[in-house]
Chain A
Amino acid sequence: MTRFSKADALHLGILAMLVIAFFVLPTYHVGAVSRIMVLAVYAIGLNLLFGYTGLLSLGHAMFFAAGMYGFGLAIKFMAAPVLLAFVLALIAAAALSLVVGLLALRTAGVAFMIVTLMFAQTAYLVVLYFGEFTRGDEGFVLQQAERLLLGFDVTSETGRYFVAFSVFAICFLGFARLVQTPFGKRLIAIRENEERARMLGYDVGRYKLLALIVSGTISGCAGALYALLFGYVGATFASVQYSILPLLWVLLGGAGTTIGPLIGVMFMFYLIDASSAYTNSYMLIAGLVLVLLTMFAPKGIAGILRLRVMPWLP
């Protein structure tokens, strides 16, 4: 078996397990996995920029929110059909990524982190400022009737799960393929040694901008999907917390690995879920586990797997 087919088999195996999970898991966990898949799409977006290109953004919530509000506002004010609203959401996220990229990529390292954080805070404040349309912190709900995808009800348990699964599968497999293409390899080269990549003849600035646009658009896709499946659009999703969470998911799951985002989101979700069953101070337990993982598995769960048993993992 070649390296590529092993990786492909793993990716398809994970997708098969997710399909099987729907039929064997209790209702509560089916709902949880739907949410996990949507958030994993968001983590995939950040992983492309952080894990593969080496650019640490602390403001990805703005792209998630751009997709979410792009979708929600198009439905609320334009009565747009779901598919059109989704396309508009992707355009909004891509356009914001382009503008932020053109400005933020003039900086690097810590400055890039701070600039993206500032842009995200600005986006958050813009959402609050235009509360007349966005309903600010309170947010707004998308009615069930507004969320028909080609006549298909996505608010049912089955509909929600398989729409989440379909978008996740497309992003997951597309992403796994992307990082194996020459474009993906160039991003990895930039992460490894930016100056050397430039001296070798690569237009590093252009590749970083493209990576940011793709990353931001995937994150926006997750935002729109969240609004579609869970019917709520709110400013919380533009707050700094939603920029830090995907970073934690990616770090825990394994930055720079294809399966890391899903593992990270699942691990974190169930860690909080399980610990909150025992105590109200569940974040204390979650924090302790995170510290231990960072100490003993700094490359994340999938990073350790790649190091020990799956060196072929892309």
Chain B
Amino acid sequence: MLEVKNIHSGYGPVQVLFGVSLSVNASEILCLLGRNGAGKTTIMKSIMGLVPITRGSVSLEGQPLHSLPTHRVPRMGVGYIPQGRRLFPELTVSENIEMGLMVRNEGADTRDWVLDLFPRLKDRLRQQAGTLSGGEQQMLATARALCVRPKVLLLDEPTEGLQPSMIEQIRQVVVRMKQEGIAIVLVEQRVDAVLSIADKVTFVENGKDVQTIGAADLRDDPELLRSRLGV
């Protein structure tokens, strides 16, 4: 479904990625693991077109994404929830969701679908998004990204700064999205939070993908985690 082939990218003269390749299929969760500064977030931004790719390609179901302007990538079916959530804080919960729905003129059925995924948001529809708790903001950011009915969802550290009960809710939603056929790329620092739900793991080091293995194999080999991540 999503195919990233040998991408090189960076910020101005500073190159960050040196040939990253990865792929993720429908109903599959790919987790990117790596130390701080390894290039995980830059991979996501490169897929979205926020960081220009100098070499390589990104395609979704065979359609090239790397040649499109940033605003066209979500319309092709890629949802991105960046680190730090980034809502429209002065708009209400309902209006934030509406902003997501308007991108592809999705209707009430999509709105009901995302609110079913996050029933907690139903009670907060008239509340200003900036006044939500951290966990609720993460839910809203995820709900809004789902409003474009993405085929692929990119999640950058969705559990950052959340309490354990909220982490569990986010985890359950990710699993449910996988069951609904969405391909998921997940960046996460909390290895324990993702290993149990991931299908495969790609280790990123110094702007390169150094190893991709099945999550089950990694669970059986804690030594590999120690050698790659030092944890």
Q: Which A residues are within 8 Å of any B CB, using their own CB?
A: 182, 185-186, 188-189, 192-193, 195-204
Contact = CB atoms under 8 A, between A and B. Distances in A.
B148 A201 contact: yes
B99 A198 contact: no
A193 B87 contact: yes
B88 A196 contact: yes
B86 A185 contact: no
Interface centre among B71, B72, B75, B102 (most CB of A within 10 A): B71
Contacts of B160: none
Given A196-B88, A199-B82, A200-B148, A185 B99 contact: yes
A312 B70 CA distance: 34
Interface residues of B, number: 27
Contact of B70 (A182, A192, A198): A198
Contacts of A192: 87-91
A258 B91 CA distance: 16
Contacts of A186: 99, 102
Nearest to B86: A196
B102 A188 contact: no
B71 A203 contact: yes
Q: 5 tightest CB-CB pairs across the interface, nearest first?
A: A201-B74, A192-B88, A201-B103, A196-B86, A203-B71
B199 interface: no
B71 A185 contact: no
Contact of A200 (B89, B90, B95, B103): B103
A200 B144 contact: yes
25 contacts: A182-B102, A185-B91, A185-B99, A185-B102, A188-B88, A192-B87, A192-B91, A193-B86, A195-B50, A196-B82, A198-B70, A199-B70, A199-B74, A199-B82, A200-B144, A200-B145, A201-B73, A201-B75, A201-B103, A201-B104, A201-B148, A202-B103, A203-B69, A203-B71, A204-B71
A288 B38 CA distance: 54
B157 interface: no
Nearest to B74: A201
B203 interface: no
Nearest to B100: A200
Given A199-B80, A201-B148, A203-B71, A185 B50 contact: no
A189 B99 contact: yes
Contacts of B170: none
Contacts of A197: 88, 99
A200 B74 contact: yes
B48 interface: yes
B71 A202 contact: yes
Contacts of B91: 185, 188-189, 192
Given A199-B48, A199-B82, A201-B104, A189 B88 contact: yes
Nearest to A188: B91
A185 B103 CA distance: 12
B35 to A, nearest CB: 25
A195 B90 CA distance: 16
Contact of B99 (A195, A200, A203): A200
